[in-house]
Amino acid sequence: MTARSHLQDHLPYDHPLSPRSQYRKLPLLARLFIDYSARDLWETDTRRLPAPLAKLRRKACAFAQDVLAPTSSELDLAPHLPPGEYHPKAREVMELAGRQGWLSYFLPAPIGSMSLRAGIYPPIWQCSLVVEEFSRACGGLMLLLSAHHLGTMPLMLSGSVGTILKFLRPVYQSCLRGDPHLVAFAITEPGAGSDAEEGHGAAVYRPGVVATPVDGGYLLSGRKVYISGGDLAKSMTVFAALAGEGMESWTCFYVDCPSPGFSVARTEQKMGMRASGAAEIEFNDVFVPHDRVIGGLRQGWALNRATLNTSRIPVASMGVGFAAAATQIAAEFACTYMLGGKRLIDYQDVQLHLATMLAETRAMRSLVWQEARHAWQPRQLFASVCKFQVTDRAQHVCEMAMDLLADHGSLHENRIERVFRDVRLTRIFEGTNQINRLSVIEDWQGELLGRNPVIGSLGV
């Protein structure tokens, strides 16, 4: 950095009082504890990861920047397509993503694309790294790619190797061949939304989809709403109550979307993440054979909640990705926009603003990585804390970026308004952030009330 390019009121690195240059003059032993390499922050974080995960992060970043980012704006602004229609650019992206392994990375070969060396780390950690990079480039395509993993999660968590080999393997193999077989996750019911989380508390539960036993299997009837990727999915993990029973009978069925009686009634016109559809699905006596009951009869509720525990940390990482994008947009604007003959970044209040955004983003990432690295058996409390805290703060960072761009913040071409529309969804789906706060207490109540009433022993 030269004196010419240093920021006003800050010392250039080569100034005698700049600590950065002085550290290098200290004795070797001192330098070992004091000197540091101020490389790019993204690079610093990547190097802190175990090597296989660092490699994954670099690969995800390259794919996001080379493939997702260039089509992001076009897909966001594209007209709303009829249910089931693929935007040609989105199809291209998905085919390439499939071939590169982005639709099959939860399991290693010979089933999926996970690197064997990465296999010793929780898949949720891997997923969080990927989702952050994809979110930074395009919220809509990120969701289209990620909703598929949510859909496959009940198969993976079923505890049955047979289920994985019979159903998940062909899905992954098809994706790897470049023929994306997307799987959607269908829990939300009409008039519900967060009821998917709290329906068990309903005085009278009225199931959105009912499974009636027939010879050889079940007939599914009813509706599911707001199903991410449901319009393009080839199969779907559907949660339904058994006929005449309540929510405790919820069972997961693996449904083939081309089955007779299955239809996509509509897709929603969303505020953001517009490259991914949210579909309303109609089941009209859709036959599902016995062998497509996933995880056992009446095990659907537990399977659903376990799936949400695995997905909420990656949802938090979407927030990190959006906050990182917002911070980057704001920093680029501040470094290039001129006011009164100076760059905005030369003004002290702008520096304070950006420093806060950076700190917020890094605090979010720290929380997500901290939880993700231990998420072999993700606890509800940790997953929900991560989800609501990070997504709430992520939106705040996006708002800070819009504020910094001020008069220019509302223009689509400056990107931040789209990032805001994208991040807004993360506070709603996978249980609203209010529901996630209650999920924390639900999981924590045993410690709060139970065994030892001495507050100090809670271990907060």
Partner 1 sequence: MSIDPDDVGPLLEEVSSFAKARIGGAVTRPEEPLPIAELENLTREALELGMLPTGGEAGFGLWESCDQPHDMEFNIGVLRHVARANVGVAFAWHRQALARCLERSLGAAPAGDDLFGTILAPTGHYGLARNSLARWLAGSEQGGDEFHLLADWLDRRTHVTSFVAPESWKFLLWPVWHEGDVLWQRVSRDNVWVRELRFQHGFDEVCAYQILNASGEGQTWQVGGGVSRQLYARILKLDMLGLLAIGSGGMARGLELAREYASIRKQGGKRIDRHPAVQRMLSDVEQACRNADLALHACAQPVDELDLGLVAASRANIHEMLCMAANQVVQVHGGIGYMRDAGAEKLLRDMNMLKLQTGGTREIGAFLAGWFGDYE
Toward partner 1, which CB reaches closer, 32 or 204?
204
Subset of residues 280 to 319 that bind partner 1, contact rule: CB under 8 A: none
Query: Least distance to partner 1 from the beta carbon of 92, Å?
Result: 23
Neighbours of 5 (CB within 10 A): 7
| DSSP summary character for residue 391 | H
Provide the 3-class DSSP secondary structure of residue 14.
coil
| 198 contributes a contact to partner 1 by CB under 8 A | yes
How many residues contact partner 1, by CB under 8 A? Answer: 56
The answer to whether residues 164 and 349 touch, using CB atoms and an 8 Å cutoff, is no
Q: Which stretch binds partner 1 (CB under 8 A): 19-27, 119-127, 255-263, 342-350?
A: 342-350
Provide the 3-class DSSP secondary structure of residue 378.
coil
| 421 contributes a contact to partner 1 by CB under 8 A | yes
Of positions 1, 30, 271, 441, contacts partner 1 by CB under 8 A: 271
Give the H/E segment covering residue 353: helix 348-372
Subset of residues 203 to 222 that bind partner 1, contact rule: CB under 8 A: 203-204
The answer to whether residues 96 and 177 touch, using CB atoms and an 8 Å cutoff, is no
| 246 contributes a contact to partner 1 by CB under 8 A | no
Toward partner 1, which CB reaches closer, 152 or 228?
228
Query: Least distance to partner 1 from the beta carbon of 329, Å?
Result: 14
Toward partner 1, which CB reaches closer, 206 or 362?
206
Query: Least distance to partner 1 from the beta carbon of 356, Å?
Result: 12
Q: What is the DSSP string of 101-141?
A: TTTSTTSBTTTS-B-TGGGGS-HHHHHHHHHHHHHHH-HHH
Toward partner 1, which CB reaches closer, 100 or 384?
384
| 424 contributes a contact to partner 1 by CB under 8 A | yes
Subset of residues 359 to 418 that bind partner 1, contact rule: CB under 8 A: 395, 399, 402-413, 417
Give the H/E segment covering residue 281: strand 278-289
Toward partner 1, which CB reaches closer, 77 or 458?
77
| 225 contributes a contact to partner 1 by CB under 8 A | yes
Toward partner 1, which CB reaches closer, 292 or 387?
387
Query: Least distance to partner 1 from the beta carbon of 394, Å?
Result: 13
Query: Least distance to partner 1 from the beta carbon of 308, Å?
Result: 15
Backbone angles phi, psi at 180, to 5 degrees: -60, 115
Query: Least distance to partner 1 from the beta carbon of 143, Å?
Result: 12
| 444 contributes a contact to partner 1 by CB under 8 A | no
Q: What is the DSSP string of 67-101?
A: IIHHHHHHHHHSPPPPTTPPPHHHHHHHHHHHHTT
The single-letter code of the amino acid at 74 is E
Indicate the length of the chain as a whole number: 460
Backbone angles phi, psi at 331, to 5 degrees: -65, -45
Rounded Cα distance, 314 and 426, in Å? 10
| 388 Cβ contact partners less than 8 Å away, ≥ 6 residues apart | 427, 433, 436, 437, 440
Of positions 34, 202, 448, 458, contacts partner 1 by CB under 8 A: 202
Backbone angles phi, psi at 159, to 5 degrees: 80, 10
Residues lying near partner 1 in the complex (CB under 8 A): 77, 188, 191-195, 198, 201-204, 225-226, 268-272, 278, 337-341, 344, 347, 349, 353, 395, 399, 402-413, 417, 420-421, 424-425, 427-429, 432-434, 437-438
